[in-house]
Amino acid sequence: MKQIIHTEKAPKAIGPYSQAIKSGNTLYISGQIPVNPSSGKIVEGGIVEQTEQVMENISAILNEADYSFADVVKSTCLLNDMKNFEAMNKVYGKYYSENPPARAAFAVKELPLNVLVEIETIAVK
């Protein structure tokens, strides 16, 4: 059975997709970009500020579904420039200080709304 997960504490979807889908014990979180859910605007600053907002958006969705970062098994990080990898990695690492999930990181030509980072997440209980 598929359950749609939605919270006002994370940005609204900017297209025909859900913030997250829970299927069985698995939670699939759509790629999160650095949009502040209160203002609906991209956070000001560089890769550090943008990654922090992305991780906070992921946290809000995890919490809404009664999951935590400890339940995350896989992340995919998309960057507009691999020069941002080290700074993104430092922020990301704060959320996974123990037993980090499997992960892939890619540089892509462009991201929605010209943001610097997007992260999708899969969690399992």
Query: In the prediction, which pLDDT does 54 show?
Result: 98
Q: Which residues contact 21 (CB under 8 A, 6 or more apart)?
A: 2, 3, 4, 5, 27, 28
Would you write out the chain's pLDDT as a tens digit for each of its 125 residues?
899 999 999 999 888 999 999 999 999 999 999 999 999 999 999 999 999 999 999 999 999 999 999 999 999 999 999 999 999 999 999 999 899 999 999 999 999 999 999 999 999 99
Query: CATH assignment of 2-124, given 3.30.950.10, 3.40.50.10540, 3.30.1330.40, 3.30.450.20?
Result: 3.30.1330.40
Sheet with 26-32: strands ordered across: 2-5, 20-23, 26-32, 117-124, 72-79, 102-107
Query: In the prediction, which pLDDT does 115 show?
Result: 97
Please report, for residues 1, 22, 44, 82, 119, the alpha-carbon distance to residue 62 in angstroms, rounded to integers and kept in the order given: 18, 11, 24, 27, 13
CA–CA distance, 109 with 38 (Å, rounded to integer): 28
The whole-model pTM stands at 0.96
Query: In the prediction, which pLDDT does 50 show?
Result: 98
Query: In the prediction, which pLDDT does 1 show?
Result: 85
Q: Which residues contact 31 (CB under 8 A, 6 or more apart)?
A: 76, 78, 118, 119, 120
Rounded to 10 degrees, the C-alpha dihedral 104/57/42/7 comes to 130
Query: In the prediction, which pLDDT does 15 show?
Result: 86
